[in-house]
Structure 1
Amino acid sequence: MTTSQKTEFLGRDAILGADDLAYSTVDVPEWGGTVRIRALTGTERDRFEAEIAGNTKRLKLDNVRAKFVAKCIVDAEGNTVFSTSDVAALGQKNAAVLNRVFEACQRLSGLTDDDVDELLGE
């Protein structure tokens, strides 16, 4: 870098004011259409990881796909469409279909297999 080049760094207001939540759509013909998904916020992801990790070294993976998908599917305004009381019913949907939506949510939120290994302490 020469002395004539100056790097401009983002400040607090620029960072906090940035609209950085990513959205995507997933075709789900088995459900009769398309769903809109949103990446989790940092807080939402931390809560999800804490929920499945619990206080033990063993992940609570019961209905994990439905739990994650329920947090990511949103309406046109970006509001979640499922509540925690809907998770059990969502978990009864076709596993292959639910997994397709889960994987799209996982990619959008940056949740990798390595992240799961880290939760397990591996």
Structure 2
Amino acid sequence: MDIENAKVQMRKGILEFCILKIISKGEVYASTMLSELTSAKIMVVEGTLYPLLTRLKNAGFLDYRWVESVSGPPRKYYLLTEKGQEFLTEMSLTWDELQASVNQISNASPQA
């Protein structure tokens, strides 16, 4: 098994959660999401982000609004819907449980 592939798969598994967490802080533009993900060392390209945002919107978790820009075309700012907030709350609980489980396994003493 290729370690780089394994790392990519682990990151993909939490990408949706991370995007929802970023948007939960308030309306956000896609390039801001990319910057925050990149600074957290979760490398994502626009070709991955935009289809995921579309899927989340189609599921009813996100909405967006267009804002005119003085330096170019209008920008699409994303925000969570009530359904999205409920989904994120459930995902957060699952993340906490998963993190605790992995930590327990990682920190367990070796079996004799």
> TM-score, normalization: structure 2?
0.29
> TM-score, normalization: structure 1?
0.27
- Tell me which structure has the larger Cα radius of gyration: 1
